[in-house]
Amino acid sequence: MSSDQAKSPAPIVIDVWADLGCPWCYVGKHRLQRAIDARPDADRFQVKLRSFELNPDAPQTPETIESAFIRSHGGNAEVVLQAERRIQALSQQEGLPFALDRLNANTFDFHRVAHYADEAGKGLEFFSRVQDRFFAGEINPFDVEALARVAEEVGLSAERVREVLASDEYADAVRADTREGRELGIQGVPFTVFGRRFGASGAQTVEAYARVLDTVAAEMIEDAA
């Protein structure tokens, strides 16, 4: 082993099971990134988005958030909007835009494209850009051309995105992520696993994420000693 290799700490992979339309995944992703960016060794941490469908029975045709909730859980639109307004206020306090008129639909195909992006080394960037614009009310992520445009922006092939969406490519990869998540006991997202050592359910505070990063980094140093 060279002296450079001896001095370089091993990378720490952070697996985040998430779904596109999950508000807490949106908030949690940004909080986690803030905790990472605050560290002097930020480059050591590699965030990997993993597929998890919150509502695999959602229809392919987009519908309003209110309609989707009522169809799945009953109740009325005002209850849904109250919950949406609460997380909108929280998101905006953290500097994150949050549109109330977002659409909802089945996310399986989006996850397939995200796996193509990940294979090309752009998984986190693609997922994050689509999700951020979705919550900002800027794009319809259930539109083929919208995903193709974002893919081009991050250096991927728009034509390849169209090919993936016209096929069943990466379907097995999406199912494998979900199956692994279920085996870990995941029932909701976000669910974050740090270096295959610690798991955290839900969107933690920036401070809580920072403490876990400290812990896992320290343990890996001890293991390497």
Q: What is the pLDDT of residues 103-144, one digit of tens each?
A: 999 999 999 999 999 999 999 999 999 999 999 999 999 999
- Number of structural domains the chain divides into: 1
- CB neighbours of 160 closer than 8 A, spacing ≥ 6? 116, 151
pLDDT given at position 7: 62
| Paired strand residues for 194 | 14, 198
Give the whole-angstrom CA distance, residue 223 versus residue 225: 6
pLDDT given at position 9: 79
pLDDT given at position 77: 82
**Residue carrying structure tokens 């989707």:** 68
Q: For residue 92, give the CATH number of its domain.
A: 3.40.30.10
Parts of the chain with a pLDDT under 50: 1-6
Q: Which domain holds residue 193?
A: 3-224
Give me the half-sphere count of Cα atoms (radius 13 Å) on the Cβ side of residue 50.
23
pLDDT given at position 72: 77
pLDDT given at position 221: 72
pLDDT given at position 154: 98
Q: What is the pLDDT of residues 193-207, one digit of tens each?
A: 999 999 999 999 999
